[in-house]
Amino acid sequence: MHTAYITHPSSLRHDMGADHPECPARIQAIEDQLIASGLLPFLDHQEAPRATDEMLARVHHPDYIAAIRAAAPDAGLAYIDPDTAMNPHTLEAALRAAGAVVLAVDMVMSGRAENAFCNVRPPGHHAGVASSGGFCFFNNVAVGAAHALAQHGLERVAIADFDVHHGNGTEDIFHDDPRVMLCSTFRHPYYPYSGADSGNQHIINVPLPAGTSGEAFRAAVTEQWLPALERFKPQMLFISAGFDAHREDDMGGFALREADYVWVTEALKDVAARHANSRIVSTLEGGYALHALGRSAAAHIKVLSDL
């Protein structure tokens, strides 16, 4: 089986203004590196569908969904917060980004793909039940996880989030849902200034200091994520794949390299092989140094695809 590669042209049309780090070039940087490395032809290319309001409402309050729809401008930019804005194409991109993860779940659960990578934006892990921010509108990975539970009869799914920022929105959505384990490493104290003391038996938060090396990151995953995942035995594994912990990413302040993303992807594949019939769905979160983002995402996808 192939790795599904799911994206949509709307990801290139959502634009929050000149010099904004969460820019359309992020999508192309990944695709360019997949071309340069020879990986792209071996992936199963799929166009992301729109998520429906029913899918979104599994994780977001209906009033919040309506408010995001109402905020979409006909021209110019509509600011949700000082760092997060909508242009006339943002709503479409956000619906397609969430829909990409739903399609990935359906493909992996049906056996049409062993795993999937969703090269989409806007990212999602800062979007909570009724909150946006951090460049996020709908929580793509949460929409996919909830779809796996609701439509495919799974009882336990896990989300591994190695973005440099805490996935506060994902935690907000699933903090009291023991069917979903969230394993997260993140810089602390740092935006969004959460996660250091809010974990529980199925929310495995691992705050790490500025300057964290690949060695320290690997130790955190080995000592805290992997034992928790072994106990939980997820039937499907999701990855919030943020690559802003790379040493070249000035926004992150960590010191990871491509080899660390290879290592963590291999470790998560081992967990999925033991407990989840190798079912993995990964979706893009952060990563703002374009060359490092492209190389890191390509390394991650290469491990997923066994190429």
Indicate the SS3 state at residue 141.
helix
- Of 8, 14, 125, 126, which residue is the catalytic one? 126
Q: Which of 133, 140, 138 minimizes the C-alpha distance to 117?
A: 140
| Whole-number Cα distances in Å, 79 to 64, 94, 165, 304 | 15, 15, 21, 36
CA distance 34 to 176: 38
Where b means 16+ CB within 10 Å and e means fewer, 33-56 reads bbeeeebbeebbebebbbbeeebb
CB atoms closer than 10 angstroms to residue 233: 14
Active site residue 61: no
Q: Which helix (H) or strand (E) holds 16?
A: none
> β-strands 84-86, 78-81: how paired?
antiparallel
Cα separation, 32 vs 293, whole angstroms? 11
Pseudo-torsion of CA 269, 211, 171, 80, nearest 10°? -120
Q: What are the residue numbers of the active site?
A: 126
